[in-house]
Amino acid sequence: MINKHFFKSIKILDGGMGQELLSRGLKSSGSLWSASALLNENYHQLIIDTHLDFINSGSDIIVTSNFSARRARMIENNVNDRFTYANKKAGELALKAKKISKADILIAGSLPAQGNTYVEDLRDIDLIKNDFYDQAICLRPYVDFYYLDVISSKRECEIALQITNNLEIPALVGIHIKSDGFLPSGEKIYDVVQTCKEYNILGVILSCVSPEIIQKCADKLSNMDVYFGFKANLWERNDPLPHTAWIKNPDQIGTNPTEVLGTRKDYTSGMFLKFSRNMISKGATIIGGCCEITPDHIEKLIELKN
C-alpha cells in the first residue's frame, strides 16, 4: 500500500499521453481520442512505447491511457460494448510498460471527469457514481492509486472519492481551474480542497491548466496543508473548450485538439524546468505535465532532483 506521505518529497509525473500518441501517428475516431489506441490492437505497442519514453525520461509515475474511455464517450461513439475491454487494456499496457522498464515507478489509474471535459457535470448523481465506479473497478488490479483526472466541481470530487475510499485505494485529486482562478463550477479552490481532505487522498494538483494560471494559484494551495502540484498543459487557449468544439460527428477521423486549442511549440523544456523550480519554491512536490507536455519536457525535470 502506498504511503500517505508519498508526495512529501518531489515526485515527477508523466506528460500528456493522448497528445503524445497523436504526435506519434495515432488516428483518432470521433471523440475517442486516446481511447482509439486502446480499441485498436495495432496501436497497443505505441501506448507501451510512449509509457516507456516517459519512464525513461524520469517519470516516477505513469497514468493509464483511458482518459477518453469513460462511459459517456464510449456511448457517444457507439462502442460502449467495449468499455470494459478498453479500460482494462489501459491498465494492462501500463503494467506491461512498467515490467519492461524494470523501473521503480507507480501506476496511477485515470478517473477522468465522466461527462464533458473542462465543464461541470450536472447529470444525475447516480449516473456519475456508476460511471466512476465502472472505470475504477476495471483499473483496480493494475494501479497503485487513482488519479481524479481534470475534475471540474466539488460534487464530482466527492462522488469519485467516496468510491475510491470504499475500494480502499487512495487518490490524487486533479482539479481543473479557469483563468479566473475558480473551478468551472464557479467554486473556490479552497472550499474544494477542504472537502477533499476529508477523504483518503495523497494530494491535490491543478490538472490540465496552463503554467501561468497555475503560477497565479500557487499561493492558495501552499496554505492548505496538503501536498500539491500540477499537471500543466501547453494549449494556446488559456481556458480550453470541451471536445464538442472540435468533434463534429462520431465518424470523424484524425482530428487533433490542437486544431481548436492551439499548441505552444515555443514553450521549451528549459522554460518548463524554470516554471517547475518556481513552483517548488512555493512548496509544490508533485510535478508533471498534461496535454502537449512531451518526454523531452519531463526529462529536463531530472535536474530538480540533483
Q: For 96-117, give one letter per residue: b (16+ CB within 10 A) or e.
A: bbbeebeeebbbbbbbbbbbbb
- The per-residue pLDDT for 215 is 95
- The per-residue pLDDT for 214 is 97
- The per-residue pLDDT for 301 is 96
- The per-residue pLDDT for 246 is 72
pLDDT class for 247, splitting at 50, 70, 90?
confident
- The per-residue pLDDT for 124 is 98
Please say whether the beta carbons of 272 and 303 come within 8 A. no
Q: Which residues pair with 62 in a beta bridge?
A: 107
**In 47-122, at which residue ranges do the beta strands (DSSP E only) sit?**
61-63, 106-112
Three-class DSSP category at 62:
strand
Residue positions counted in the chain: 306
pLDDT reading at 282 higher than 90: yes
pLDDT reading at 41 higher than 80: yes
Q: Tens of pLDDT along 90-134? A: 999 999 999 999 999 999 999 999 999 999 999 999 999 999 999
* Cβ-Cβ contacts under 8 Å for 116 (sequence gap 6 or more): 72, 242, 243, 244
Q: For 168-178, give one letter per residue: b (16+ CB within 10 A) or e.
A: ebbbbbbbbbb
The whole-chain average pLDDT of the chain stands at 96
Cell numbers linked to 242: 470541451
Better-scored residue on pLDDT, 260 or 58:
58
Three-class DSSP category at 137:
helix
**Span 216-228, mean pLDDT?**
93
Nearest to 177, CA basis, from 191, 198, 164: 191
**Span 82-86, mean pLDDT?**
98
pTM: 0.97
pLDDT reading at 277 higher than 70: yes
User: Per mean pLDDT, which range of 108-117, 205-214, 242-251, 272-281 is the poorest?
Assistant: 242-251
The Cα 67–Cα 290 span in angstroms is 11
pLDDT reading at 249 higher than 90: no
pLDDT class for 244, splitting at 50, 70, 90?
confident
Question: Which domains does the chain show, CATH number per domain?
Answer: 6-305 (3.20.20.330)
| Burial degree of 137 (CB within 10 A; 0-12, 13-18, 19+) | middle
Question: Dihedral sign, CA of 143, 199, 129, 207?
Answer: negative
Q: Which residues pair with 286 in a beta bridge?
A: 11, 229
**Span 17-30, mean pLDDT?**
95
- The per-residue pLDDT for 248 is 67
- The per-residue pLDDT for 245 is 76
